[in-house]
Amino acid sequence: MATAQAGPPRPAAARARRGPLAALRARPAAAKLLLLALVAAVAVPLVHGRWGGGIWPAALTADLSGPLGDVTDWIVSNRDSHPLFLYFFGHISNAIVLSVRGVYLVLLALGWAGVTVLAAAVAWRAAGIRLALTAAVSFLVCGLLGMWVPTMQTLALMTVAVLASVVLGLLLGLAAGLSDRVFRVLRPVLDTMQVLPAFAYLLPVVLVFGIGVPGAVLATVVYAAPPMARLTALGLRGADAGVMEAVTSLGATGRQRLLSARLPLARKELLLGLNQTIMMALSMAVIASVIGAGGLGDRVYQALSSVDVGAALAAGIPIVLLAVVLDRTTEAAGRRIGAEPTGPALLRGWRGWTLAAAVTAAAAVAGRVAGGQVWPDDLTVAIAGPVNTAKDWMVDHLYTGVPVVGGTADLASHFTSGVLNPLRGGLTGLPWWSVLLIVAALAWTIGTWRTAATAVLAMAAIGVLGVWEPSMDTLSQVIAAVAVTLVIGFGVAVGAARSERLERLLRPVLDVFQTMPQFVYLIPVVALFGVGRAPAAAAAVVYALPAVIRITTQGLRGVDPAAMECARSLGATPGQQLRQVQIPLARPSLLLAVNQAVVLVLAVVIIGGLVGSGALGYDVVFGLAQGDLATGLVAGAAIVCLGLMLDRVTQPTTRRQRQES
Amino acid sequence: MTATQAPEAAVRSADEAVFSVRNLWKVFGPKADRVPGGEHAALPPAELREATGCTAAVRDVSFDVRKGEVFVVMGLSGSGKSTLVRCLTRLIEPTSGTLAIDGEDVLAMDRSRLRELRRHRAAMVFQHFGLLPHRTVVDNVAYGLEIQGLSKSERRAKAAELVAKVGLAGMEDRRPSQLSGGQQQRVGLARALAVDPSVLLFDEPFSALDPLIRREMQDEVVRLHREEGRTMVFITHDLSEALRLGTRIALMRDGGIVQLGTPEEIVGSPADDYVREFVRDVPREQVLTVATAMRPALAGESERGPAVRPDATVAEAIEAVSRSGDPAARVMDAGRLVGVVDRACLLDVVAGTAEPAVTAPAPDAPDGPREVTA
């Protein structure tokens, strides 16, 4: 101390002199926790004395099944007579049915040759010759697998849904992009919609439209429009201020500014929005088979419910191929923007498109003349049988008794009994108020008091809805799967950040995995682990891993090279560089990765209800299957709350700031 | 020193002003309109922000831009010069003051009138070019004409002509991203010229360019001005650029104009210590003319020595004197002897010891030959 007094005052000494309050201000996390502890110390004895511990007290729940049942009954009995349905929803419903039917008929009229050539031609114009080949081969494989008709059904539904989503998203995005007030209102809504699991959207549309194509299309639109709206708004707002000023300085009117500058400047974002909308629409169109969408998703759904892995795979492969073709084509189109037109001048612009249309027409006519409108039955390869044989072999040889590693089924049961069960027991065993406290503490230290408040309210709402137990069950699966995802993801990412070769190897794999719809992941895990909670968790891990690896790798690699160089020049070992430079500097990315992991895992854990993971997802499926919409709706609301809570708990403050700028 | 200093531009009277600016204020912040003319108006920037939360980017500025001149506004970053030039076409709305273009009140214009002003009368060149990345060079140049509603063939023809004029012939179909910075700024210049404006406004157009390219672009502006005689308002933070291009220079600091004058006046008789510090490193012999450095001819000096014009720079006189070997050069205006510059006069200018009569001798220049300036 003597030296400290003799020399200039050191920061530490200065802080010590400023007293405990100042010390707390220097460490906001500690201050928040202290404040929370104080509140808890006062409130907990009161609350505990009044309602006790354990699961959410029955006295604090509101039984909604009665009123909800009444509402569904009223809707069901009035669906054909009430003017609201006759003149509003009825028209919407009819329009959707007609347009899906129309697109489907056009696809059928084109015949398999016409559709394949059309897909190849569009891919060629938008993305080049390589993707044209990929598209053609993909469609042929769909036919070969005997899935031509379901593929066309899914495609027709998607076309209508994507068109509607794009129009809706563009309109919302334009409004939010041009008006600050609309943007402020719309953005939190869109942000939240993007973190909600797809299942949450199913019940409300079923309530109004019943099971069938209209509901499926509407659910898809609601699910797929937000990214388009969001990216349109961001693109329009992000227009280069210098360019906009230059345009204004030349005397452009408001309309000219929008049409000749602001919209073209946002082309990249618009195409990215289109890409995301298409991918989300495909994902949802498949899931919506649960509410009668038909097509490929329905085949997978039917096959999974009878654990027929072969049939599921035969329908799953076309889904993956569709996803890859659609994603690559729109992505390549986005990349081509601003680049010089290539290829011979004869094929540029409208000439190329005319040629594409002509070739398609020719192929369609040729197919018609040859009498091959529907894919010929003798040209299919039935893979269901062989796959099921292979699966049976796996069941016999891999499920149990594999030396050293044990079997997959053993693994799954160990995971269930060793991780999932204790976790679920622990969560349901915790006093309900302590769950709220933990949520508040986590959300507040990571984010702001706002996110903490939202999270706690969402959690409390789950209790009030009376689904505390199944929610804790779902939560336990989410936590376990997120933990596994993060351990594997961070490990791989650290490796990929260090080794260029590993990253190059990983990139195409991650690309494919990131484009696949959630639903598809259920097929391999059912083959490997059977049904239950462990397979659902495994599917969730596989689904969330690519995003986590990608974000983390980018974060670690994006660390300021000057800082890394500095650490190296001071003689830091690789381990020291990672611990002391890379990880602290990449903290925002790591938090974002955690956030994404939670959101993605939740989405699949919910869908896991289809393969026996129980809990909230099962309640939704059960509600749909039994026509017990009240149960389903309550579970759906709980899913929304759980999604909100999990997102807000892991939402770093920086995410908001980054979007702000 | 260049054709931009054509003498006829300097003698034009104020009624030929293109822009006439009086007591212009631009204040950013809450209740900004209360600052001009209010009790805080005279406060320095930091105190003003303390007292009102406002920042005065432009404070009480008055000047005229005369027809045909290059009016340079120069100052360091944050001095308000970019805000000032944006106020001229109301890209930024001034807080108070009056502003007229060709005698017409700009602040009273409605939307369509203001658009008309921006379309036809004042075009701007920006520091970061502001080109549309999705359009080719020729379409970028034609953009202003497209906004005006010209037909495609008309505007293409005009644009092609201007692309050639700024030296980009053959690059019509490139995209901005395929051009170098200097080429992009040429496109920006051509776009501004395409609408044939009566005033060109430049907002630090060459600051983002490499020194060599910058020099080239400055020559381009000089050439354009010589050929067309268009009025220009030129914003820069680069003193040598200001001296090279400016007919007159307005030096700004903290939103106000510290000094307004010809390059020679700024360098030769700085208004205060700030300006003096600013121009300290300027090679004075290249800016000052012999007219300011000469002394009356003594007997017998009218016959000898090389002849120089009064508006020749001191550097030119030095060259003439040392070539001839004579002790002095005669300053001849239209065949009449108006004065003499001897070696001492010239050296005083170079050394910075020859203070014009209006300012006191610098304290750190003790032993200059006083009789020359006295």
Answer whether residue B212 is part of any domain: yes
Do the beta carbons of residue B186 and residue B170 sit within 8 Å?
Answer: no
Answer whether residue B188 is part of any domain: yes
CATH, residue B311: 3.90.1280.20
Answer whether residue B38 is part of any domain: no
Domain boundary among B278, B310, B337: B278
Hey, are the CB atoms on B134 and A264 less than 8 Å from each other? yes
Domain boundary among B278, B300, B323: B278
Do the beta carbons of residue B249 and residue B242 sit within 8 Å?
Answer: yes
Query: Both B333 and B259 in a single domain?
Result: no
Answer whether residue B268 is part of any domain: yes
Cβ of residue A337 closer than 8 Å to a chain B Cβ: yes
**pTM of the predicted protein model:** 0.79
Cβ neighbours of B124 in A, within 8 Å: 246, 249
Query: Both B207 and B239 in a single domain?
Result: yes
* Structural domain count, chain B: 2
Look up the domain containing B349 and give its range. 284-373
Query: Both B223 and B288 in a single domain?
Result: no
Query: Both B140 and B123 in a single domain?
Result: yes
Residue B21 — φ and ψ, nearest 5°?
Answer: -115, 130
| Cβ within 8 Å of A, B 145-174 | 146-148
Count CA atoms closer than 13 A to A193's CA, side-chain side: 19
Angle at B329 between CA B326 and CA B335, to 5 degrees: 130
Domain boundary among B225, B251, B278: B278
Residue type, A222: V
Question: What residue in A sits closest to B116 (Cα-Cα)?
Answer: A251
Answer whether residue B118 is part of any domain: yes
Query: Can you tell me the mean pLDDT for B232-246?
Result: 90
Query: Both B292 and B258 in a single domain?
Result: no
Which H, E and C letters describe A298-363, residue by residue?
Answer: HHHHHHHHCCCHHHHHHHHHHHHHHHHHHHHHHHHHHHHCCCCCCCCHHHCHHHHHHHHHHHHHHH
The per-residue pLDDT for A373 is 67
Answer whether residue B197 is part of any domain: yes
Query: Both B261 and B355 in a single domain?
Result: no
Cβ of residue A453 closer than 8 Å to a chain B Cβ: no
Hey, are the CB atoms on A243 and B130 less than 8 Å from each other? yes
Cβ neighbours of B129 in A, within 8 Å: 242, 246
Query: Both B87 and B220 in a single domain?
Result: yes
Distance from CA of A179 to the nearest CA of B (A): 20
Residue A123 structure tokens: 């891919």
Residue that wins the pLDDT comparison between B13 and B111: B111
Answer whether residue B113 is part of any domain: yes
Q: How far apart are CA A305 and CA A611, in angstroms?
A: 7
Residues of chain A with pLDDT under 50: 1-16, 655-661
The per-residue pLDDT for A344 is 56
Query: Both B134 and B227 in a single domain?
Result: yes
Q: How far apart are CA B48 and CA B35, in angstroms?
A: 9
Query: Both B151 and B271 in a single domain?
Result: yes
Hey, are the CB atoms on B118 and A267 less than 8 Å from each other? no
Residue that wins the pLDDT comparison between B341 and B302: B341
Answer whether residue B354 is part of any domain: yes
Nearest to A305 by CA among A628, A315, A217: A315
CATH, residue B258: 3.40.50.300
DSSP letter for each residue of A395-448? HHHTSS--TTT--HHHHHHHHIIIIIHHHHHHHHHS-HHHHHHHHHHHHHHHS-
Cβ of residue A260 closer than 8 Å to a chain B Cβ: yes
Averaged pLDDT score across all residues of chain B: 83
Distance from CA of A170 to the nearest CA of B (A): 20
Burial of A608-622, coded b for 16+ CB within 10 Å and e otherwise, reads bbbbbbbbbbbbbbe
Cβ of residue A247 closer than 8 Å to a chain B Cβ: yes
CB burial of residue B11 (10 Å; 0-12, 13-18, 19+): exposed
Residue that wins the pLDDT comparison between A46 and B133: B133
The per-residue pLDDT for B260 is 92
Lowest mean pLDDT among A248-257, A552-561, B147-156, B264-273: A552-561
Do the beta carbons of residue A555 and residue A590 sit within 8 Å?
Answer: yes
Query: Both B328 and B274 in a single domain?
Result: no
The per-residue pLDDT for A20 is 62
Determine the distance from the C-alpha atom of residue B46 to the mean position of all C-alpha atoms in its chain, rounded to a whole number.
28
User: Residue B70: pLDDT band by 50, 70, 90 thresholds?
Assistant: very high
CB burial of residue B303 (10 Å; 0-12, 13-18, 19+): exposed
Angle at B128 between CA B125 and CA B130, to 5 degrees: 65
The per-residue pLDDT for B371 is 35
Cβ neighbours of A255 in B, within 8 Å: none
Residue that wins the pLDDT comparison between A654 and B215: B215
The per-residue pLDDT for A536 is 85
Q: How far apart are CA B116 and CA A243, in angstroms?
A: 20
Q: How far apart are CA A477 and CA A56, in angstroms?
A: 19
Residue the block writes with tokens 């622990």: A426
Query: Both B294 and B330 in a single domain?
Result: yes
Query: Both B222 and B311 in a single domain?
Result: no
The tens digit of pLDDT for each residue in A162-182 reads: 999 999 999 999 998 888 888
